[in-house]
Amino acid sequence: MGRKDAVKLTGRTVNALSVERGNRVFWDRDLPGFGVRVHATGRKVYVAQARIPRGLPRRIVIGPHGEVATGDARREAARIIDGIRQGEVSAPSPAREPTVADLAHRFMNSHVAVNDRPAMIEVYGLLLDRYILPELGKLPLSSVKRSHAAGLHRKYRNTPSQANHMVGILERMFGLAITWGMIPARPNPCRSVRRYKVRRRERFLTEDEYARLGRVLFDAETEGSHMASAVAALRLLLLTGCRKMEIVTLRWDDVDRTASELRVRDARARPRTVLLTPPVERVLARIPRIEGNPWTIAGQEPGCHLKSLEEVWARLRARAGLDDVRIRDLRHSFASTALAAGESLTAITRLLGHSSVMTTARYAHLPLDAEKASAG
């Protein structure tokens, strides 16, 4: 006969279970002897229990929730319970210890995909796939030490901001691994890795650099559809001051020619509109629409938008002699140009989608710098 306080154990109900202190076993309503022990720390472990013939009850641990799916745990519990009742007590084979790659998969699918903006999802995926997992992906979680995190950080010291970001991602992952019960409570291996000091850097294009970049973009448009798509994205960045992800995730449905505006969905502060000026319209008019693809900046894969501009930008800026110019500096240049043309900080704040005019104020010195550069 089932317990009065039993519940139907499913992935959703187990996720919702919690206790304030200590731990408690919640038993399944449909399979007597199948339960999950929930700890106040958030750790949850599936168990199976049955009475040995003419003996005491025997309880066997199946595995942690998150590493073992609820359905798999239920099937394993049924096998164990039957074995105990038949006098053949057998524990499940030891589960493989999760690796950094396993944690990354759960981190991206169960946490980042639920809590972060599309732009950040793409950034996390890129840093994990290109840098973190090739270095640490195969390591069991229990074997990752501070030396591993510090070594990764040191390897990419030439790009300090990126190195700091990678360690930050790892720190966030290991914090969640403890919460999810994938590893016992332990000091986070990234906790004492000292981050590099990163000086905020503003860079803007001069009139001559704008001209050089324009010639390079014009020549690059003839180098195939992928390059043409990237060039269109770069032109839109120059003409709108939008963030990179706001442009590469722009849909044709977001282009409202009647209202002369672009609807930006992936804005950091809040959804906003961007003025559809004649130069922007001319760029959009040259972009071919691909049937079945809703994205304005199409990628190489069918139905997808362009995933990354970094590699294309690295080649193009080298041709233009702009090796120190980052994609984000195109946004700085837009702000500089608008300020030099007499636009107010309040107006630039709206154009850039900043949540505060104080964020925009750091661009206020750029027109003066441009004048000094021209005079020199």
pLDDT tens digits, one per residue of 175-186: 998 888 788 888
Among the residue ranges 32-36, 88-92, 169-173, 226-230, the one predicted with the least confidence is: 88-92
Instruction: Give the model's pLDDT for residue 372.
Output: 45
C-beta of residue 295 within 8 angstroms of C-beta of residue 304: yes
Superfamily of structural domain 11-85: Integrase, DNA-binding domain (3.30.160.390)
**Span 286-296, average pLDDT:** 90
Amino acid 48 reads: A
**pTM, 2 dp:** 0.52
**Span 315-338, average pLDDT:** 86
Instruction: Give the model's pLDDT for residue 362.
Output: 61
Residue 53 has pLDDT above 80, yes or no: no
Give the chain's mean pLDDT: 83
Q: 328-340 and 345-352 helices cross at what angle (nearest 10)?
A: 150
Instruction: Give the model's pLDDT for residue 26.
Output: 94
The answer as to CATH 2.60.120.380 being correct for domain 207-375 is no
Q: Do domains 11-85 and 207-375 have the same CATH topology?
A: no
Residue length, the chain? Answer: 376
Q: Where are the domains of the chain?
A: 11-85, 100-179, 207-375
* Strands in the chain per DSSP E: 23-27, 34-39, 44-51, 57-64, 255-256, 261-264, 272-275
Among the residue ranges 32-36, 268-272, 297-301, the one predicted with the least confidence is: 268-272
